[in-house]
Structure 1
Amino acid sequence: MKNFLVLILLLPTLCLAQKRTLSKYAEIRILTCGPFQGELYSAFGHSAIRVNDPMKGYDMVYNYGIFDFDQPNFYLNFARGYLNYKLDVHEYRNFQYAYVYYNRFIHEQVLNLDQEQKQKLFDYLQWNAKPENQYYFYDYFYNNCATKVRDALKATFKDDLQFDGSYITTDYTIRDLAHIYLDQQPWGELGIDICLGLPMDSVATPEMYMFLPDYIEQGFNHASIMKNGQREPLVKNTIITNKAQPQEDQSSTITPLIVFSLLLIIGLIITFIGYRQDKGYFIFDTILFSVIGLVGWLLLLLWIATDHHAAARNFNLLWAIPLHFPLALFLLKKKIPDFLRIYFQASCLVNLVLLITWAFLPQDIHYSLIPLAILLLVRSYYIQRYLSFERDEDPSA
C-alpha cells in the first residue's frame, strides 16, 4: 500500500519525464512575424518554431527570443555582452494573439518532413527547452531569435539540410541590412551606428543575412532536405495566418540631423559673438566636449571591455575622442594650462581630416553626425586660437 501511494505521488513527474511522441498528423512550422515600429527591439520582426499535433492536443511555440529582467546582474551582463536569452515554450494561441493585437503579420512555413524527421526535430526542441539547456548568450547579429531557429534545424539534420544562398543578389553590409528596418527609428539607427564598429561594414554572406527574420523565411524557402533518399524543398507550403494592416508612420519629426544642425548653428553664433567680444564662452565647450568625451569612453569600453564583437574597431572614436573628458574641464580654470592649446590644435586637425575623408572611410559613419563634427572642428579651432592670443598677450608666458 505504501509503495502504491508513492507511485501515485510520483506519477505526474514520471509522465512529464517521458519522451513525447508526435502523431502522424503533427506539423512543424517556422513562424515569421512582422516588425512593430513602436519599439526599437521589435523593429526587425521575430522568428519562432510551432509544433502542432491536433491528434494529441499539442500546439506550442518554441521561442528563442525571451529574456528575464530579474536575472542576476541583468544590466551589467547586458553592458558586457553576456546577456542570457532563453528558449521558452508557450501556447500558440497566446503567441498568435499578441502579434495580431499589435498588427504584425504572421507567416507559417510548413516544413516538408517525414514522421521520423519531425520527431527528431521535436526531440531536439524538447532537449533544448530543458532548464539546463535553454539559456544562450545573445548577440544582435550572430546569435539571436532568428539565427537560433536556423541553427536548431542545422543541429538536427546536419548535412541533410542545405541552404542555397544564390537568391541573394545584393551586396549589403550588416549595417545596410539594419538600416532597412530602421527608417522609422532615426534615433535608434543613430545609436546603433555610433555604438557598433567596423565589423558591421563587412559585406554579409547569405547566412549572415539570416539574423533577420524576413531572411530566415526566404532562406528556408531556398533550402532543401534529404527525404526518403531524395533531396526535396524544405518548405511544403506557407500559410498567412495574419495579414497586417498598413501602419501609421512612427518616425519622429525631430531627427538627429535637425538636432545636430541646430546645435551647430548655436555653436556658430557663440563663436561669432565670442570673436567680436574677445571672449571664450568656454562653458559651452566644457559641456560639449565633456559629453562627447563620455560617449568616446563608452565606445572604447564597448570595444575593449565587453564581448560585443560588433562594437570593435569603431571609427566613431575619431570624433568622440575619449580624452575630451576630462580635459575639457580645464577650460573652466582661471589659468588654463598651455597643453590644452596643443590638445585642441590636434582635435581641430583630427576633425578636419575626418570631414575630408568621411566618404572614403571603411566604416559608414552616420551622416547626421557631420554637423556635429563641423561644430567640434570650429570650436577646437576657436579654443586653440583664443588660447594662442591669450598666451601671446601674457608677458609671463
Structure 2
Amino acid sequence: MKKSIAVVIFLLLSLASSAQAPFSGQAEISVITCGPYQGEVYSAFGHSAIRVRDPSTGEDLAFNYGTFTFDPAFYINFPRGDLFYKLGVYPYDRFRDAYIAQNRYVHEQVLDLTDEQTQKVRTYLHRNALPENATYRYDYFYNNCATKVRDVFVMLFGDSIRFDGSYIKTDYTIRELTDSYLAEQPWGDLGIDICLGLPMDKKLAPFEYMFLPDYIESGFDHAKLNGRRIVKRKNIVYKSSREPASFSLLHPWIVFNLFLFGAILLCYYDWKKKKLTKWFDAVLFFVVGLAGVLLVLLWTATDHQAAAKNLNLLWAVPFHVVAAVLLFRPRFYTFVAGYFMITGILSWLTLLLWFFLPQDLNVFLILFNIVLGIRGYTISRLLVPGKLVRS
C-alpha cells in the first residue's frame, strides 16, 4: 500500500516537472508483452503494458491499461456492457514479478525513440494516469488493454508510425482468433461462443489482429516510425517453462456425449412405456429458453456490440420457457405437441445447415442440438390427448 502511494506521489511530482526536466539520454520506452495464463478465461489471451525507464532518475514504471475495480457495481455494469477499465501504474519490478510468478513469459521491446519522442510518450502516460483521465470504456476487441498500448503511439505520432501487416498471411475472424487461445478452456470458449453473435465472425484486417497482446508484439516488430524500425532491441525477460495440458472428465465432449446417450435411453424408455418423462423435458427446455432470453437481452438491452445478431437463437428459443410450463397443462397438449414438432424440425434444420451458417456455432453444441431434436419429436408424438394419460 505504501509503495502504491509512493508511485502516485511520484507521478504527480514528475508530471509537474516534466516540461522543465526532459529525459536523460539513458531514458527508454518499452512495450511489454506477457504470456497467457490458463487459470482464468480473461488471462488466457496474455497482456500488454508500456514501460517507462530512466536510470538517471530511478524512474521505472509499468503503465497497465488492464486494471478495474472489482466491486458490487462491476456485477451491475458487466451484464449491461458498461465495462470501465483504467490505466494503472506500478513499479516495473512488481508488475514483472507478478507475471513470472504465474510462469508467464515476459518480453520487452525497447523502442528506438528520440529524446523528444520519449518525453512525449512519458508526458502523455503520466497525464493519462491521473484519476480524472485514467478510466476508459472497455471493449473486448476494439478498446482493450492491448489496443490501448498500440493507440498511444498511433495518437501521438499519427501517420509517422506505420504497422506493416503483410507478415500476416491468414484471414481469421475474431472468433477464430479467440478460439485459438482457449483450447485449454473449452467451457470458457463455449460460453463465449454462445453469448457473442455475428460480429465475432468478422474477417479481420491485420491491424485489427492487434486486439491480442501477441499481435501487439509482432505488430511492433514490423512497425516503422518515420521510416525507421521502431523496435531498437528485444529482451526476453523471462521464458516460461512448458506445462502439460490438463485433462478433465468434465470436458464438454464427454459431458455432452453422456447427455446425448442418456437422452437416447430416455427416449427409448418413453416410447416403450408410452409415457413421457415430462420433468426432464420441462427442465431441459425451460433452461434452454432462459438461455435464449439472456441472448435476446444481451443483443437488445445492453451495449455488448459483439452480442448482436446471435444465431444461437436458432436452438436457444426464448419461447421454450412458456412451452416448458405448458407441458403440465393438459388443455394445451395439442398446441404444445405442435410446438415441439416445429422445435424438432428446427433443430434438425439447424444441424443440416450448421457448417453453412454465417456464424460459427460451437461444435460441442451439435450433440446438444441432437438432444433437442429427438426430445422435441418425442414430445410431439407422445403428448397427445387420449394417448398420454399421466406422466
Same fold (TM over 0.5): yes
Distance 1:68 1:12, change over 3 A: closer
Tell me which residue corresponds to 1:357.
Answer: 353
Tell me which residue corresponds to 1:26.
Answer: 27
> Residues 134-191 of structure 1, C-alpha deviation per residue, up to 9 Å, x if partnerless?
1111111111110000011111111111111111101111111111111110101111
Deviation at 1:345, TM superposition (A): 1.7
Q: Could you say what the CA RMSD is over the residues aligned between the two structures, in angstroms?
A: 1.8
Using structure 1 for the length normalisation, give the TM-score. 0.92
Contact 2:110 2:234 in 1 (8 A): yes
Output the CA distance in 1 between the equivalents of 2:171 and 2:126: 37
Instruction: Give the secondary structure class of the aligned counterpart of 1:321.
Output: coil
Deviation at 1:16, TM superposition (A): 5.8
- Any unmatched runs of 5+ in structure 1? 1-10
Q: How does 1:82-121 map to 2 (within 5 A)?
A: 82-121=82-121
Q: How many residues align?
A: 378
Instruction: Give the secondary structure class of the aligned counterpart of 2:159.
Output: helix
Q: How does 1:206-221 map to 2 (within 5 A)?
A: 206-221=206-221
Contact 1:292 1:320 in 2 (8 A): yes
**2:233 paired with 1:237:** yes
Deviation at 1:78, TM superposition (A): 0.7
Contact 2:15 2:127 in 1 (8 A): no
Tell me which residue corresponds to 1:142.
Answer: 142
Deviation at 1:17, TM superposition (A): 5.5
Tell me which residue corresponds to 2:339.
Answer: 343
Output the CA distance in 1 between the equivalents of 2:165 and 2:14: 40
Deviation at 1:15, TM superposition (A): 4.1
Corresponding letter in the other structure for 1:124: Y
> Residues 254-282 of structure 1, C-alpha deviation per residue, up to 9 Å, x if partnerless?
21121111111111111111111110111
Instruction: Give the secondary structure class of the aligned counterpart of 1:145.
Output: coil
Contact 1:163 1:223 in 2 (8 A): yes
> Residues 85-138 of structure 1, C-alpha deviation per residue, up to 9 Å, x if partnerless?
000011001011111111110000001100000011111111111111111111
**2:54 paired with 1:56:** no
**2:309 paired with 1:308:** no
Name which one, 1 or 2, has greater alpha-carbon Rg: 1
Deviation at 1:359, TM superposition (A): 1.1
Tell me which residue corresponds to 1:193.
Answer: 193
Contact 2:333 2:383 in 1 (8 A): no
**2:276 paired with 1:280:** yes
Deviation at 1:13, TM superposition (A): 11
Corresponding letter in the other structure for 1:55: S
Output the CA distance in 2 between the equivalents of 1:165 and 1:268: 50
Instruction: Give the secondary structure class of the aligned counterpart of 2:157.
Output: helix
Output the CA distance in 1 between the equivalents of 2:79 and 2:388: 49
Instruction: Give the secondary structure class of the aligned counterpart of 1:110.
Output: strand
**2:68 paired with 1:67:** yes
Contact 1:85 1:135 in 2 (8 A): yes
Contact 1:87 1:135 in 2 (8 A): yes
Contact 1:66 1:85 in 2 (8 A): yes
Contact 1:184 1:252 in 2 (8 A): no
Distance 1:380 1:12, change over 3 A: closer
Tell me which residue corresponds to 1:368.
Answer: 364
Output the CA distance in 2 between the equivalents of 1:135 and 1:247: 35
Tell me which residue corresponds to 1:169.
Answer: 169
Deviation at 1:353, TM superposition (A): 0.8
Distance 1:16 1:118, change over 3 A: closer
Output the CA distance in 1 between the equivalents of 2:297 and 2:24: 52
Output the CA distance in 2 between the equivalents of 1:17 and 1:380: 66
> Residues 272-314 of structure 1, C-alpha deviation per residue, up to 9 Å, x if partnerless?
1111111011110000001111111111111111111111111
Instruction: Give the secondary structure class of the aligned counterpart of 1:378.
Output: helix
Corresponding letter in the other structure for 1:157: F
Corresponding letter in the other structure for 2:375: R
Output the CA distance in 2 between the equivalents of 1:13 and 1:52: 13
Tell me which residue corresponds to 1:291.
Answer: 287
Deviation at 1:336, TM superposition (A): 3.7
Tell me which residue corresponds to 1:250.
Answer: 246
Distance 1:358 1:190, change over 3 A: same
> Residues 220-257 of structure 1, C-alpha deviation per residue, up to 9 Å, x if partnerless?
1111101xxxx100111110000101113235342112
Corresponding letter in the other structure for 1:18: A
Contact 2:382 2:388 in 1 (8 A): no
Using structure 2 for the length normalisation, give the TM-score. 0.93
Output the CA distance in 2 between the equivalents of 1:178 and 1:14: 38
- Any unmatched runs of 5+ in structure 2? 1-8
